[in-house]
Amino acid sequence: VLSNRSARFVFRASMRCLWPVARVLSLALFTVLLFALIGYGAFSSARDTLGDRFRFFADYGAALDSLGVAVTTANFPDVMMPYYNDGYFHSAFFLAFMVITTFLLMNVVLAVTFQAFSELMCARVVK
């Protein structure tokens, strides 16, 4: 990175893009924290009555971990299916979470990152 001028510029531009991206990422983090709180309140009692397969919202930390996995969509069905099988109403929570985080907020994060980096690249070309 230190010996290549282009790589240095890209690294500096990436560092300058952090503030706009951090604002949007903080909104995404707040959304996950809010959904974890709602999920913990709604689903924490399910573990007591229905068994260990409902462990994803047993406490607030588990809820944050489970929704963190769900944001990445890596094992989203593993988190959702025990609750979905228990009642179809629970799927509204997970559907709202997926629409807001994956389809809305992650696209906004990508757009803000691209716009901030593009503005810096255009400023370099104009110079």
CATH of the domain at 40: 1.10.287
Confidence band for 52, pLDDT divided at 50, 70 and 90? low
Distance CA 24, CA 108 (A): 7
Question: What is the count of structural domains for the chain?
Answer: 1
pLDDT score recorded for residue 48: 56
Cβ burial of 69 (10 Å; 0-12, 13-18, 19+) is middle
pTM of the model as a whole: 0.79
Query: What H or E segment, with its residue span, contains residue 75?
Result: none
Write out the residue range of the structural domain in which residue 58 sits: 5-126
In this prediction, residues 102-111 reach a mean pLDDT of 93
pLDDT score recorded for residue 75: 78
Phi-psi region of 51 (alpha: psi -120 to 50; beta: other; left: phi over 0): left
DSSP H stretches of helix in 44-105: 46-50, 60-71, 76-86, 90-98
Instruction: Pick the more confident residue, 88 or 113.
Output: 113
